[in-house]
Amino acid sequence: MSRKPTKGYYVRGHFVAEGSELDLELKRELKGSTDMSKTDLKKHSDHLQQLGESLLTLGAAPLDRLSETLGLSEKLTDAVNEARRITNFEGRRRQMQYIGKLMRRLDEDTVTAIEAAIEEQRKPSARATLALHQAEQWRDQLIADDDALTRWLALDPQADVQHLRALIRQARKDAQSTQSQERPGEAVRHGKAYRDIFQTVRAALSRDSDSDGDDDTDPSTDEPT
């Protein structure tokens, strides 16, 4: 006589039987409600697992601050530090599962604080990426459009106009020379002037950002976005 299949659901590839201790634990953690759908339970568990993995991206100092301010258990902080040292794939996978289990024991306020700390750490990287994109846009427009120099001087009155004009002229000459030598499929090669314009613009944007806060100026206009 065949056995009746056990009812349940999967969380990160692991079967959770309905009515099991883990099933009840997950339901209790979801604000004490037993009315959550299996999909909601899985999403919540997956989110906590991913959040635990994100703890590995925190430096030692931010992790220590979280531990001090939130009273994170030594088990969790030790588990995170141990995961950083593990290089074996299977060993690391098991360690991350253990971290996920510890994360599911945290209260909602602690989870929210961890999310905020991780997001705060990501902000400098996002600002740096934005600054790079702005510098690239200004460089390309300065080379392509004579009017762009006027807009740039309004943004950076301290700029060395003669030097910048010389770089732009040289970059345009280099571009024309390169185009005549290009072959289909080859990567575009840029000269030193092209790179120097980027560095000049990037340094000015960085200086302006340090003195006045984040730079929200659109390269195509001299008005804030």
Q: Looking at the structure, do residues 98 and 177 belong to the same domain, yes or no?
A: no
The string of pLDDT tens digits covering residues 189-200 is 678 889 899 989
Q: Looking at the structure, do residues 188 and 99 belong to the same domain, yes or no?
A: no
Q: Looking at the structure, do residues 85 and 131 belong to the same domain, yes or no?
A: no
From 106, 136, 169, give the residue that closes a domain: 106
Q: Looking at the structure, do residues 144 and 90 belong to the same domain, yes or no?
A: no
Q: Are 118 and 58 in contact (CB under 8 A)?
A: yes
Q: Looking at the structure, do residues 22 and 101 belong to the same domain, yes or no?
A: yes
Q: Per the domain annotation, does 221 fall within a domain?
A: no
Q: Per the domain annotation, does 3 fall within a domain?
A: no
End-to-end Cα distance, the chain? 71
Q: What is the pLDDT of residue 225?
A: 40
From 106, 141, 171, give the residue that closes a domain: 106
The string of pLDDT tens digits covering residues 123-143 is 666 677 788 889 999 999 999
Alpha carbons 113 and 66: distance in angstroms, whole number = 8
Alpha carbons 175 and 169: distance in angstroms, whole number = 10
Structure tokens at 141: 């427009």
Read off the CATH number of the domain in which 150 is found.
1.10.60.30
* Number of domains comprising the chain: 2
Does residue 148 have a pLDDT over 70? Answer: yes
Alpha carbons 30 and 41: distance in angstroms, whole number = 8
Alpha carbons 131 and 26: distance in angstroms, whole number = 43
pTM of the full predicted structure?
0.42
Across the chain, mean pLDDT equals 77
Q: Per the domain annotation, does 164 fall within a domain?
A: yes
Q: Per the domain annotation, does 51 fall within a domain?
A: yes
Q: Looking at the structure, do residues 90 and 133 belong to the same domain, yes or no?
A: no
For residue 12, what are the domain limits? 8-106
Which class for 130: exposed (0-12), middle (13-18), buried (19 or more C-beta within 10 A)? middle
Q: Per the domain annotation, does 29 fall within a domain?
A: yes
Please give the C-alpha separations between residue 53 and each of 79, 154, 218, in angstroms, as whole numbers.
11, 46, 36
Q: Looking at the structure, do residues 77 and 142 belong to the same domain, yes or no?
A: no
Q: Looking at the structure, do residues 143 and 77 belong to the same domain, yes or no?
A: no
The string of pLDDT tens digits covering residues 6-32 is 677 766 656 777 767 677 677 666 655
Q: Per the domain annotation, does 161 fall within a domain?
A: yes
The answer to whether the Cα torsion of 86, 87, 90, 96 is positive or negative is: positive
What does the longest C-alpha to C-alpha distance in the chain come to?
Answer: 91
Q: Per the domain annotation, does 128 fall within a domain?
A: yes
From 106, 135, 160, give the residue that closes a domain: 106
Q: Looking at the structure, do residues 99 and 151 belong to the same domain, yes or no?
A: no
